[in-house]
Amino acid sequence: MDTEKERLGIYGGTFSPIHSGHVKAAYAFLDTMALDRLLVIPTAIPPHKAPVEGASAADRIEMARLAFCDGEAYKSGRLVVSDYETTLEGKSYTVYTLEHFASPECELYLLVGTDMFLTLDRWYRAEEIFRLADIVLMRRERDAVNFPLIRQKSAEYRERFNARIHEIDEPPIVVSSTELRKRLCGRCGIDGLIPEAVVRYIEENDLYR
């Protein structure tokens, strides 16, 4: 670790909507990796996903801000919700974002959940992603079912890409945006899995109906 350099975290996602699992992962990332700054970056059109109906990019940015704005990290500027990818034309590739924020003055850390971690080697210009950033895994499931695959993939990434991999040792909140969109659409309860201010924003703007 180079103590002179800024430790800059990148947390990208569709965040449609942002949920408590994302919020917990972001704070665990800040603390575990002792980040100087964390950029939460809603993606424009995720390369690996079909576009999500129900909320615009501006809505997803606003919901992300609402999810964090009461926290000290946001108030102090240590956690920033960035519109970098949503203001770009076309698809947002993680490697472009890393290239944009990379500099000799900082060390980049990229946070991913289990699903993203297991497919990282198939991302556009994967080798460059591993070169530019340390990969930080926050598991999103509580059972051990993915352990063998995670071990296998970690070994493969180290071997093939010289990857620098860290794992956050905190229990996740098991939830997905897909499940929450279904519940919101069916007007079912969301059991505190979305921050209050985000729930209000969804209601006021009639999202995901």
Contact residues for ligand ATP, defined by CB under 6 A: 13-16, 21-22, 25, 112-113, 115-116, 138, 140, 172-178
Nearer to ligand ATP, 36 or 179 (CB): 179
How far apart are alpha carbons 71 and 123 in whole angstroms?
32
Nearer to ligand ATP, 37 or 114 (CB): 114
Minimum separation from the CB atom of position 28 to ligand ATP (A): 9
Minimum separation from the CB atom of position 193 to ligand ATP (A): 9
Nearer to ligand ATP, 5 or 173 (CB): 173
Nearer to ligand ATP, 15 or 130 (CB): 15
Minimum separation from the CB atom of position 182 to ligand ATP (A): 10
Minimum separation from the CB atom of position 17 to ligand ATP (A): 9
Minimum separation from the CB atom of position 108 to ligand ATP (A): 15
Nearer to ligand ATP, 116 or 194 (CB): 116
Concatenated DSSP letters of the chain: --TTSEEEEEEEE--TT--HHHHHHHHHHHHHTT-SEEEEEE-SS-TTSPPPTT--HHHHHHHHHHHHTTSHHHHHTSEEE--TTTTSSS---HHHHHHHH--TTEEEEEEEEHHHHHHGGGSTTHHHHHHHEEEEEE---SSSTTHHHHHHHHHHHHHHH---EEE--SPPP---HHHHHHHHHTT---TT-S-HHHHHHHHHTTTT-
Ranked by CB distance to ligand ATP, the top (closest) residue is 113
